[in-house]
Amino acid sequence: MRTEIIAGFTTFMTMAYIIFVNPSILSDAGMDHGAVMTATILTAGITTIIMALLTNYPFAMASGMGLNAFFAYTVAAEYGWETALGAVFASGIVFGILALTGAVHYIDAAVPTALKRAVAAGIGLFIAFIGLQNGQIIVGYEGTQVTLGDLTQPGPLLALIGLLITAVLMARKVKGAILLGILLTTIVSFFMGMQDVPTGLGDIFGMPAGLGPIALQLDLAALTTIPFFIVFSFIFVDVFDTMGTLLGTGARAGYLDEKGRLPRINRAMLADAIGTTGGALLGTSTVTTYVESTAGISEGGRTGLTSVVTGALFLAFLFLHPLSYLIPGEATAPALIIVGVLMMGSITGIDFEDFTEALPAFLTIIFMPLAYSIADGIAFGFIAYPIVKLVAGKGQQVHWLVYALAVISLVHFFYPG
């Protein structure tokens, strides 16, 4: 039991940065910062415990990085955050059906590995770009679209200091490096005069903000007016991010059977779907299983008790609500950059010696940050993949589902309604 408790605490430390980062991102879409923080904590805590009860695995869940950026800067920016919540809710329902029927395994087998890895790498590049912008390290410029910001200004300077602090902690393999980086950067901001120093416990501890401004505000009716590919992108990323994380963490824990399958994986994916739909009702973006769960597994966590401890720690954090207002955006920007670095690691699994694999993967990766849209990056990848395979005489290697998704992707661009 002692080992499981330590493992649960370790997992919490490695992923608790989402408590501060998610409200920072979603508030850019016009959502109430305090309410989003409450929704983020409640969703992470409750769904992680649900994961424990359904599977008895030490996996933790929370609002996913990348999809929260897609939610805020692409979907909500054009259609409003209420519609974005509706899209998340719909994707969670579909994901749940796929998990219950087992269809998700068929889809996973049909989609090429290169595209799945490219999506992860592209999202990493996308959120790192957002982090650089939020830290004012990269700014808009008329002549070249973007340029380097004025690094002598307090904002960019603090972001760079925070990036250095977090990088050192990561390099030293300190548990909870990203969370500690955010907190230490906030302390630096006090000395730089950018934030008021807390004067009492009331600046740190307090009752959580109410959910009223965002709970049950999803607009399902608006889903008839937005492109289908937006909902599809939420589903696609959630399915493959969750599938990859479950198999990866399951392998680390020694759960996989002789055929490389994870027992009770449908239950784990159902927990993910419940988290996504429930999170949308509370007012937060797509919930997914966190790869940071491997930190707890590395500490010996092997049962659902690890997840129960992690979930309970999230819920306890509700009463540190005032602390979030002390953390400047420049302190969370390095977290986005670091997470981007970690997600880019999936690019090593792409065979760049095979041009028919390299080109679709590259287009997927590069269009996400440049078009500022995960959906557009996915669409370009699915269009390019069957085309280059056909002209190379390898069309028979492409699953019929990929051809269908290529057609849907073309429709997304030329008939976006």
Tens digit of pLDDT for each residue in 343-390?
888 888 889 999 999 999 999 999 989 988 888 888 899 999 999 999
103 has a pLDDT exceeding 70: yes
State pLDDT tens for residues 70-93: 899 989 998 999 999 999 999 999
**Region 302-316: what's the mean pLDDT?**
93
Burial class (CB in 10 A: 0-12, 13-18, 19+), 57: buried
Confidence of residue 311 (pLDDT cuts 50, 70, 90): very high
SS3 17: coil
pLDDT at residue 340 greater than cutoff 80: yes
Q: What integer is the mean pLDDT of 140-163?
A: 91
Q: Which of 234, 236, 258, 262 is nearest to 248 (CA)?
A: 262
Confidence band of 416 (pLDDT split at 50, 70, 90): low
Q: Is the pLDDT assigned to residue 417 strictly greater than 60?
A: no
Inter-helix orientation angle 329-344/177-191, to 10°: 150
Average pLDDT over residues 166-175: 91
Residue 40 CB partners (closer than 8 Å, separation 6+):
18, 19, 22, 23, 62, 63, 284
The predicted model scores a pTM of: 0.86
For 280-297, the pLDDT digits (tens) are 999 999 999 888 888 888
Mean pLDDT of the chain: 88
Return all residues near 377 (Cβ < 8 A) that are at least 6 apart.
Answer: 119, 122, 126, 363, 364, 365, 366, 367, 368, 371
pLDDT the model gives residue 415: 67
Q: Which two tokens stand for residue 37?
A: 């923080």
Helix axes 177-191, 2-15, angle to 10 degrees: 50
Please calculate the CA angle 118-14-274 and round it to the nearest 5 degrees.
Answer: 70
What pLDDT, on the 0 to 100 scale, is given for residue 388?
95
Summarize pLDDT for 212-263 with one digit per residue, the tens. Answer: 999 999 988 888 878 888 888 888 888 878 887 887 778 777 887 776 678 8
Rounded Cα–Cα distance for residues 162 and 238 (Å):
29
